[in-house]
Structure 1
């Protein structure tokens, strides 16, 4: 308990658990002041008044106190130790050492007169008493006689001990069984080693063993020797990893600073509200009224109401994909009114390489801008693909792009416009009114490889 109590995590727990400081910190998380601070942090970029208010709040003692603890090592250790085995063990030990039974045991072990209170001391006292008894004195005298000495010489002799050992041995069931086994000409077939050999002969014919030895020295796994993972996410955590993803496009983050829509869009991207993780990534389209910004010429960004909300994730500020392989396990379940895409781009929506797009169009390939300013599509239609999970793969080598579905090559194209670092993007966009109230775009995992 003392050792655990000195560990950094337990120290942080004992310092913060139930403390007024932690209570105030947790209460401040839902405060209007913190919400205002976070809102101004984004809005203050292009607004002098908001920037001035943001700087004022940045010097607020409550704000400073909140972020001081929020970024502290102690709070990090506190969160790490909550629910840990060490904390559970520490509490068990603390409860144990405070029991009356434990305290009594400690008191007993520290008592210098515990021998006088022990059973051994009582036996010693009885021995002293018996030593003066007349019967005991007679026995002690008899023990010195020649007859008794002769008896003892034989009784304790090696020959008598060995005789009794051998007699007991040859009369035992184990000896009889061992004798019979040694006289048995077929004893090998009855041994444990023989059974192990038979099991070996059986096991080596099992499909999994046959397959193992087939591939043991083969080149089938050379891919993993030559390629290394440089980016991956299995979306198992219930919160989107903000060290890997942002919930807006790279273009949006560098222009307006918030998600916006284009003319004709029926939905607007929320700031992560339509993104769910936990066992997979799920981008949800919902039928709900939401106010957002739309780009309209010549007015620019105009505020309007949208019938639907959706979501987008991008690796733009965290990871740029160069030459290598991108693969993702994606559930192919197209909804005609929703364009769901997993694509690679360089800071803009077009040009881009679609790992897969489903919905109004079910395609793999490239989107480019033609001379008349319209989006041109080049690729492969996958309308005949059955609903279900597929591993979609895109390999980039300079300006050459190669697509695979479940390891089968299906398309190869070139694009000099996309021969540059590209960010990963996934989104759903409503292009027509839904028959229902929602639709999902599900991705189980994504991995990026680069040659070692």
Structure 2
């Protein structure tokens, strides 16, 4: 009937499977977030994000997109070169130079025949020759002989070529241009604009795909490609949410999923801590009607089952007057604790547990330190069977008076499923939860000593009939401490 009403009207607590799945997904997502934040992909994104949003990079991109060859000094040099190349005087200069006439003229100018001709012509043009020519015996004179030599030299092809060429306008233009600053400027510009670097520069600036071929475009593309990945999109969507505040707050300090075949003896001891510490043996208190046995602890399907059974068993009882007294018991049970392996002051403690309804059997998940008090009961099932449990703390004041802050928690048949029982313990507050729902809070008489964990099943009264065997089944236990 209770299950029907819970499904019809809703339970006080979320379904354990759903709650646990949500918590596991949250943990998985948080780990996924941490892994991505530590990944080379995200580190590369951060590098690129800084780079592509830097002022220098933005200016470079704008330059690549807007800069034209015609706006550069190189363009103006090219235009100056083309203007000089098209000028008539330089065109004539190079045309005449290509004819090889300048070389011939230069060769004749340095020849003996031109020197000889020039010397005779100088004498022919002198008054001395004119006087000699006026005499009657001129044709028999040395002057006439020189004159005939002069006439002969005038017919020489080199002499004729030399004087004809040097009197041409094109030659005079050649002389004016040759070795001039104008020619030097043209030659310098020609060397620059025809260089491989200049040609590559011009080609780059005139390429319509210039930006697409640039390293800046490649870096932007790499940056955008990372942003398009499913992992990054998920990260961007979830990174600023407060989903992980609670998870980020805690770090695991102790856990056991009970996956091995036997109980991990490095973590757990069977029986009360002081029995192991002082006697290396097991004992129970004088009010207990059961004895703890290792054989009552079974790991199966990754669950630790602490089973209470009916049957004769011998053990020790602690009596504060008589000490340890041998006794035969009619019931056996189990207790596991971390008394020798793990203790903690403050933190969060959670366990996924299922209990059998075997009232008045006492199933408990509790914490205790060096003394019997203070003690914290995360849950203690007893007289109410699986309908409710007690949650609270037991402390002692300065006058050695016992202080009990205990509440009864109900709202569901707790033997119907596994439930996740939790305690959050700080300096000023204790908070009990079931499947994440707060069921009790305490702000006074807060324990201030490290404690260890205990799971146990006890029988504290004589009974004629009890439904056995009964198990306290622990699927997992996890303890957390706040990150520094």
TM-score, normalization: structure 1? 0.49
Q: Which has the larger radius of gyration?
A: 2
Higher RCO structure (Cα 8 Å, ≥6 apart): 2
